[in-house]
Chains A and B, each alone.
Chain A
């Protein structure tokens, strides 16, 4: 008996009702809901009608309906018509709002038999409409064609709109400190269509009002953010296996530039550097806000100062370009993307200022507020994967070309990664600093903390010996780090 009740094939209300009175009632709730909550379908008002637009709801949610009463006005390809209900009951939930379009045969509302069931119907409506939320057409009918999304990447947007990275409150002078959103009529319309929350959009129109292009830019930013893989450390993104997912704009740009990088003749030189002294120094000055990244950048900059050729680059294939400043770019993984905030004049700025600067840059990077000169003026790049336990790896020297098709995407700084970076001669991959058993020159075996660095360089300007000498200098500085704190 119970088994029979659990079956989803119990079809009629009457039999269920009778069973409810039995003391050993085990009817699952869901079965009951389906029996008493009816769907109101988009009717076919003409032989050629495939979908209908809801002109207006004559009844609103919670209204009592009696059989034959007009509930909704539907616009077909021919005319507007009132649609009547075939049952008595209560209009529990409207699933397609006024102005929405639904395929013929798909559910547009739910009808509950009694007022008690309205709440259940509402939750049912939510279940049903959520997968199709952006398209407004109900998912109930298998034939319902999805309304084409405005932006190809935007399909999953509805679920992520609230987490959209579009930040900073509107700065309109009349916005009462951000309480009021001032947006032009078309901007408001677009925002509704593209599912963009205006309160998070920065206006670029007169007096800081939000205009259409701001909304469009925000929608693109959301689309890109959606396409981004999730943050490192968080759960890996759910990818549908067996599917082909096209590149986002950013991924496309990276792909192009990586292929282009093959046009640069690079070679790699590695070196193991003992970091015991550096670690000791770090421990000592850490309370003063000094970070390891700043220390490494500082050491690299000091070494670069002694070997200007490593800080040079080849822009035209015919000449050396010796950069006047030593700007150390440090790659940072952020939101699954990659950005290279630049510590400018790292050789000249003292370690404490450099650390403060670094903190500021990282904060800005995470808030996606880095200015172009803060991430694209590096003359040498540091890439550190040591925190993941990686002991050695090598980096690809980015070609440093500007790709024009990504420039329109002002909102997303990720797109500039590998794209508008300064042309550089070399990039250094830094591995983890690990305790290592080493044989010392005095013939003894000891334990030292070592890290491996691996420099990728453009052989057109940088030769093996240059790189070797640079690494030797760097090792000396790190192994005897007193110069770092001068």
Chain B
């Protein structure tokens, strides 16, 4: 009963946590290749990690929850009592989605928990990331629909010219962030988690101080410490951010202006989502991308299709294979100037003069002032090194006992829901149960119109793995054009793609581009997390007519060579006959 409640609460954060942090990952890594070694491409990095980390690949079980027993239920009534000699069982530095998820799970596990926050509860996701951006995207989606005369006409609808009030849109985003922030704060308070205000610093093993720096600092002890300090927008050198004409996502989400022409540096998740918002509100957009292809980080086939739908027909152009070396904000009547050099030859290529520039080159870990030197830990380009159990590794390559780092600060997978999952994994470990999170089962989504979502490997990654490990891969694709619900909505654009092993039916990756792709991906991510094979999941029944049938068809069209369970066939055959008979009697399906 109680555990059910806590489940909803903790899962609330991953839902609100969308793609935001993740967008960072792909674009930052790829964009500033010159600064970062290629192995730091976050997606690839985490995936490599995932390959090596989980030996039982598909079978690695995620979120295997203990069956709720009475002890846990009881502990839920309050924040537990600390272990002997410590102020707290668990202290979490940073109350973002990762810290919040960990805190909730810790309370469920009966740990006395405190969370330290120097800013506002909710972190990047809730205040400056996925949450407000979803509010803006909700607006842009509607604007897009209303402006699409052809789309409306095909419904038989007539709509007068659609307009918008910028302040109204901005308020919607702000209000949503406030609401979610309050929900998060209340959920922590109601569970009895101590919210400690101030900057948290590690002062020694199992020892943290918090408070305003140099003023009324309090030292507390904890059996275990989780660092969950997150990240900030990454601004490459040479770029001058003034918050008005040269902005980061932090500013853009406030939507203080809608420039006529805006350059978006970086075409990852952040850039794509903002291009969707800006073009819907009437701006024209120019992408500046360091790689030769737009939308790096996505499966190439999905990226190509997405470009055909999200870029080419819109008021967007792009420069690929170029770095923005210098960006000067608009001043003295001069426009924003952007100097581009060729990514390979480093020769000056072009100068752009526009109304505004959005820097969407990824996110940098926020790990300064954490007192890591006190426990002999050195960050790598700001990221805190951890093992596959999120245990912090010190400069000698040894584990620091009782110190963990989750979320953007460790850079494994810069997604809000990944941070939360890592936090839960850590809590599992400190409460005595070993747990390794399978990052390959964590879905990611980009909330453009239509949406893009993915889980597991891209096709090139899968091919590389297949070659290394010596197995064949299979590809199956289905189109939204064949889906009744999608056609009813006049949204037939889109595909779903499955990458799998025909020999054993293991799902390696699923990529969806189309209406509600972000919601559709979970059938696939759950299957990967639970180790469900195609030959099993293809018999799961989907309501008709729904978009989920796109995924249903995807699994059904996969050709696996494993032995078919004939008993199931017989049952299905009977069911189908029964169904088709019943269908004939129903006037409407």
**Could you list which residues of chain A lie within 8 angstroms of chain B, going by C-beta atoms?**
77-79, 99, 172, 174, 182, 184-186, 188-189, 205-207, 209, 211-212
Contact = CB atoms under 8 A, between A and B. Distances in A.
Contacts of A189: 315, 317
B260 A78 contact: no
A205 B353 CA distance: 12
Contacts, number: 38
A184 B337 CA distance: 14
B481 interface: yes
Nearest to A175: B353
Contacts of A77: 481
A172 B353 CA distance: 10
A78 B481 contact: yes
By DSSP majority rule, is chain A's interface helix, strand, loop, or mixed?
A: loop
Nearest to A207: B335
Contact of A185 (B285, B353, B355, B479): B285
5 contacts: A182-B353, A185-B261, A185-B317, A186-B315, A206-B260
A186 B285 CA distance: 9
B355 A206 contact: yes
Interface residues of B, number: 17
B73 to A, nearest CB: 53
B260 A185 contact: no
B353 A79 contact: no
B530 interface: no
Most interface-central of A174, A185, A212 (chain B CB within 10 A): A185
A136 to B, nearest CB: 15
Contacts of B261: 184-185, 209
A364 B532 CA distance: 78
By DSSP majority rule, is chain B's interface helix, strand, loop, or mixed?
A: strand
B194 interface: no
B280 to A, nearest CB: 14
A212 to B, nearest CB: 8
Given A185-B315, A185-B316, A186-B315, A207 B479 contact: no
Contact of B351 (A99, A174, A206): A174
A207 B353 contact: yes
A219 to B, nearest CB: 17
A185 B285 CA distance: 7
Contacts of A205: 260
A184 B260 contact: yes
Contacts of B286: 185
B503 to A, nearest CB: 26
Interface in B284-303: 284-286
Nearest to B287: A185
A186 B284 contact: yes
A174 B353 contact: yes
B549 to A, nearest CB: 17
A260 B148 CA distance: 41
Contacts of B312: 99
A184 B354 CA distance: 9
Interface string B390-417: 0000000000000000000000000000
Contacts of A184: 260-261, 284, 315
Contacts of A78: 479, 481
B260 A188 contact: no
Contacts of A206: 260, 335, 355
A79 B285 contact: no
Given A184-B261, A205-B260, A209-B261, 7 more contacts: A79-B479, A99-B312, A172-B353, A185-B285, A185-B286, A185-B315, A206-B335
Interface in B54-82: none
Contacts of B260: 184, 205-206, 211
